[in-house]
Structure formats: structure tokens, C-alpha cells
Amino acid sequence: MNVQAWTFVLVGLSFALYIGVAIWSRARSTGEFYIAGGRVPPVLNGMATAADWMSAASFISMAGLISFMGRDGSVYLMGWTGGYVLLALLLAPYLRKFGKFTVPDFVGDRYYSQTARFVAVVCAIFVSFTYVAGQMRGVGIVFSRFLEIDINLGVLIGMGIVFFYAVLGGMKGITYTQVAQYCVLIFAYLVPALFISLLMTDHLIPQLGFGGTLADGSGEYLLDKLDGLSRALGFDAYTEGQKGTLDVFFITAALMVGTAGLPHVIVRFYTVPKVAAARSSAGWALVFIALLYTCAPAVAAFARTNLLTTLSNKPYAEVPSWFTNWEGTGLITFEDKNGDGLIQYVGPAAPVENELVIDRDIMVLANPEIARLPNWVIGLVAAGGLAAALSTAAGLLLVISTSVAHDLLKKGIKPGISEHTELLTARIAAGVAVCIAGYFGINPPGFVAQVVAFAFGLAAASFFPVIILGIFTKRMNKYGAISGMIAGIVFTAAYISYFKLVHPELNTAEHWLWGISPEGIGTLGMLLNVGVALIVSYATPPPPLPIQELVEEIRVPRGAGESHELSA
Amino acid sequence: MSERDNRHRYWLKNLRYLSFLLVVWFAVSFGCGILFVDQLDAIRIGGFKLGFWFAQQGSIYVFVALIFIYVFLMNRLDKAFNVDEGDRLS
């Protein structure tokens, strides 16, 4: 069978699986719709969290990014995993003990303030929409490349699938679909990685092949060969960093703290039965994430080596078929500037001009073809990319629908509505959110890539500090929390907008504050939030006694709500 | 000892575990992977420079270990201070 037939079969089978799971696990109450009834076993919740968290960006883009960034790519590797340590140690157990449904729930109750709740809702919705637009776009790219369907039709099919299980199944449907999606995506990521590792280094385990010697009999280490190749072609050595140390520090911290503050990740810890389960479930989530994240840098190094050896100084007339296929999508462009018929793929330090531009996003998708793996492996990668994008999109849509139905309507504008109406509103909100996300997938705003910095920056500068301070200092009151959140958000948003939207031409290291890029500024925003919150809080009266008792109460596991339906 | 005292001492012990684990967390990622990466790169293990390995592999393994150590410590602590949730599963 050819690649396209395999892709149709594998994508079709995986979609049938998701729909089957969704029908089997549909939600019947708001408790099930928002948090799967609080009965998800920790290992399964870990898997669902991993699928929820690993988006099209992790699956499709990350290894490609690292492959072009070399050591600097470690900001993503450490940043997107280290946050789970913070989640497990500082957030998950206490939020589970607190119970309820959402992050704005905690902020609103702990700070006894509708204003605080409202600020949190707005942040949650903004962060989630930013993210979901990118996922829908990822679905479109996979469809158009592998199934040769129009990119817009691809987005529509993706919307249809997500609509079906998010609207029908709520959190319960999403959780069990995400478990299935995790299995599909990790299998699809590991199979080509194992193959390539075996081909290039004779090690079956990519994490070992990464540090192993090449299989060509030269006895040279893969990373040494890659450093040598890169230097010879005028690129920077792969294992050396180019970014400033302080900037790397701040970006990593912003990604870690941002991860721990993302509402669709936090809400997953409400779905487990006990406080102890929330702790171990964060551990399992990281195990499942680490499986992909320790493999990705190896894949990046393999792909980079393969790319440099396959293309550099080869005649354009003899390029392999994957090259021509991707040229068709416009993601690879070649211009024979010196007219010698050869491909000069070189870095800034080389004496000749570079003639080849490769989009970073195609590295993972093209990797199996570059390494000449069997057709079914290529189809599998397509199914995995879709699983990653759909699972994340569904988790985000749920946060949006919960925020609208629960935080805005039930806890805000119309507290008297029945559970039935609330559930219906949540479903309608999920449906509307799917359509808006689809619209952005079809007509991506030019600044999608830029606003991702926003999502992490804002999560880091808003949610993370208020939640941590709310748990670890009893003295923190609503004045401190609100002024801290506003200071953090305004500072971070202003800094990012200035460099990304208002003056993109000034977005270089010499104009940045202390050399901190907009990607890393969330860390400073977070520190500002903490500082302002503490000062304002100690200058104003302490929170009421019942609130201080609430804090005492969430610090110990005993007495966690049995079932959320009772307290809802 | 009063219930309030018991909870207070439980919380202090928890904070002590947290600070120890977070120091390790900071040391492997921000320490070995970022601040001292170039110094560690002088040491080689197989094909890896040590700093590079910490930045792209080692820190992630340590993160996983830290969470499970915390789970173990806290489960023991919950029982010792009698604030655990029992064996209820649902």
C-alpha cells in the first residue's frame, strides 16, 4: 500500500476508536462534564494529562525546533517538564483538597472576591483560545500534507471530531479519549524514533543512540559528527549554546511556571479521587511526557545529521521524492542562486550563499521519509500528530466551556440556574468555542506564533503566584491578590505586545530589558506579581477568619470531598 | 497534643521536604543545565558532554524521580500524623 492509503486506514481507525470511547463514556451530570465525577484512577489521569499537555507543538514542532536550535532547544525540554515538579509539589494536592471545578473557583473563593474570579476567568479564556487556534491549524497541516485534502476541509473534519466528543462527553469523554490518544501518539512517536536510532547508531533506544557512535563503522560519536558537520557548513556547533545565559534562565523559568499555571492542566487534578492520587497522578503524567520529551532531542539530532548529509552539496536534479513532496506545500524552498545545480545548505559563517529554506515544523513529519522508513510508519506519524492536536484542543475547549457556564453564569450572572440548564449551557459554550477555534484554524491570525508567548507569560504572571500565595501564606488577602495579578498581567502583556506587535523591528537582544526576551518576561512578571501582592497584602487588613481556616483545611489531605456531585 | 499543633507540625515537615526537593530541582535544571553548563561540558560521558546531557536528558529523569520521592515521603507523613485519607478509592 502507498503512504496515502496507509494514512487513510490508520487515521480512520484511530478516529473510530475515539468516537467509540466517547460514546461509551458520555457525561450525565455537571460533575461528570466538568471533572469526570472525580473518579479517574491516577495512572489513567496521568496519561490523559500527558495527552492534554502534549499538543501539536510538542509532537510536530518541538523536535524540529531543537534540531535547528541545538543546545538552546533545551529551554523547551526543561521548561515543559520542570513545571510538573512545581505542579506536584506546590499545586495539585492542595487544589484537589479544595475540590470544586475550576481555577477561577479557587481564586474566587480563596480571595472572597468576584473581581478576582472575573480576572481569573478572563485569563483562562484568553490563554485557552490562544492555544486552541494553533491546534486546529496543526490538524489542517497534517490533513493537507498526508491526505491531500484541502487544509480548510481538514480543519472542518477536526472540528467535527472534537465537537462530537467534547460536547457529548465533557470531561469524562475527553479523559478517556485522551487516554486512547496518548497511546496512539506515543506509539507513533516512538516507532520511527526507534527505527532511526537503530539505523543510525545500532542502538534500539534513542536516548542511548543519542550519545552513541555512528553505525557507519567510523566509530565516531553521533554528536561529534553533528558538531563537525555543522561547523564545516558554517552553522554553530550543535552542542553549544548561542542565547545569553540569563535569557535561557528566564525563558526556562517562564515555561516551567507557565506550565504549572495553565488552566487546562491544573483542572485535570480535580478529576482524581484523592489528594494522594493527585500527587502520584502528576508523577505519572511526567513519566508519560518524559517518554516523548527525552526522545525528542535524540530525534532532533538524528534528523539534523540526516538532513545535512542527505542534502548538502547534492545535485538538485537528484533530490529524493520527500523533498519534492514538501516543496509542493511551500515548506521547503530552494533557489539555485549561483546556478551550479547543487544544493548549498549553509549557515551564516559559510563563504557561499545559502540556497535552501526548510520550515522547522516539517522535521518530525518528514523524518520517516528522510530515513526511508516503511510507508505504514509515515501514516502512523500522521495519526499521532492528529491525536496530539485533537486531545489538546478538546482539553482547552472544555476549560472555555466550563469558564463560561460555571464561572461566568452559575457563579456570576445567574446563580439560580438548575444543573440541567448549566449542563446545557456548558455544551452550547463548548460548541460555540469549537466553531471559533475552527475559524482561527482556517483564517489564522498572522500573530499566532507570537501570541503563544502570551499564553505562557500570562499563565506564569497571573495564576501561578496567586494560587501558590493563596496556599502557602494565610495572610494573603484579596487586595494583594488582585493588585498582584493586575501588576503581573499588565507588565507582561505590555512587554510582549511592545516587542511582538507594536515594534517587532526592535525585538533584538540590545533593546530587551536586561537581555530578557519576550518569551522569558513572564518570569519577571511573576516576581513582580509576588512582590506587589505581598506588599499590598501586609499593608491592608488580614483576610476574614473563615478564609484563614479554609487555608488550614486545604493543607491537610484528610476530609477531601468524596464526590463532587455532593458539594456541587 | 492538640489537633491544631499536630497539623502545624505536619505542615512544617511538609515545607522541609518541599525545600529540599526544590533545591535539587533547581540544581539539576537551572544549575547543571543552564548556569554551569559550559563548565560541566568539559566532562564527557560516552558521546555526551555532561552539561548538554543534563540540559536535554538528565534534568528530565531527575524531575520524574523527585515527584515519586515526594509521593513516597508524603504518603508516609500523612500516615505518621494521622491526616491520611484511608483506603477509600472512589
Contacts of A208 (CB under 8 A, 6+ apart): A197, A201
Measured between CA atoms, how close is A232 to chain B, in angstroms? Answer: 19
Measured between CA atoms, how close is B1 to chain A, in angstroms? Answer: 17
| Residue carrying C-alpha cell 457529548 | A168
Ordered by start, the domain boundaries in chain B are 21-80
Q: State how far the alpha carbon of A391 is from the alpha carbons of A162, A178, B42, B88, in Å.
A: 8, 6, 42, 30
CA atoms within 13 A on the CB side of A155: 23
For chain A positions 234-273, those within 8 Å of chain B (CB to CB) are 239, 241, 245, 248-249, 252-253, 256, 273
- Put simply, whether A552 touches B (Cβ < 8 Å) is yes
- Cβ neighbours of B43 (radius 10 Å): 11
What residues of chain A lie within 8 A of the CB of B48, using their CB? Answer: 210-211, 223
B18–A210 C-beta distance less than 8 A: no
What residues of chain B lie within 8 A of the CB of A280, using their CB? Answer: 68, 71
* Runs of H (alpha helix) within A63-113: 63-69, 74-86, 92-98, 103-110
Q: What is the pTM of this model?
A: 0.85
pLDDT tens for the 568 residues of chain A, in order:
777 788 888 888 888 888 888 777 776 677 776 666 667 777 888 888 888 888 877 788 788 888 888 888 888 889 889 889 998 898 888 888 887 777 888 888 888 888 888 888 888 887 887 777 777 777 777 777 666 777 778 778 878 887 777 777 777 778 888 888 888 889 888 888 888 888 888 788 887 778 777 777 777 887 777 777 777 777 777 777 777 778 888 888 888 998 888 888 888 887 777 888 888 888 898 999 999 998 888 888 888 888 888 777 777 777 777 788 777 777 788 787 777 777 777 777 777 777 878 877 777 778 887 777 788 888 888 888 888 888 888 888 888 888 777 777 677 777 777 777 777 777 888 888 888 888 877 776 555 555 666 778 888 888 888 889 888 888 888 888 888 888 888 888 888 777 776 777 766 767 777 767 777 788 888 899 999 989 998 888 888 888 888 888 888 887 755 434 333 3
User: What count of CB pairs under 8 Å joins A to B?
Assistant: 143
A283–B61 C-beta distance less than 8 A: no
For chain A positions 15-74, those within 8 Å of chain B (CB to CB) are 39, 66, 71, 73-74
Compare CB distances from B33 to A39, A74, A293 and report the shortest one's residue.
A74
Compare CB distances from A557 to B55, B56, B84 and report the shortest one's residue.
B84
- Cβ neighbours of A390 (radius 10 Å): 31
**Helix axis angle, A419-442 to A114-146, nearest 10°:** 50
**A-chain residue closest to B30, CA distance:** A249
In chain A, the N- to C-terminal Cα span, in Å, equals 53
Measured between CA atoms, how close is B36 to chain A, in angstroms? Answer: 10
The ipTM (two decimal places) reads 0.90
**A-chain residue closest to B49, CA distance:** A239
- Put simply, whether B20 touches A (Cβ < 8 Å) is no
Contacts of B4 (CB under 8 A, 6+ apart): none
**B-chain residue closest to A559, CA distance:** B85
B11–A555 C-beta distance less than 8 A: yes
Q: Which helix (H) or strand (E) holds A500?
A: none
For chain B positions 43-82, those within 8 Å of chain A (CB to CB) are 45-49, 52-53, 55-57, 59-61, 63-64, 66-68, 70-71, 74-75, 78, 82
Domains of chain A, start order: 3-303+373-446 (1.10.4160), 305-358 (no CATH)
A249–B34 C-beta distance less than 8 A: yes
- 10 Å CB burial of residue A436 (0-12, 13-18, 19+) is middle
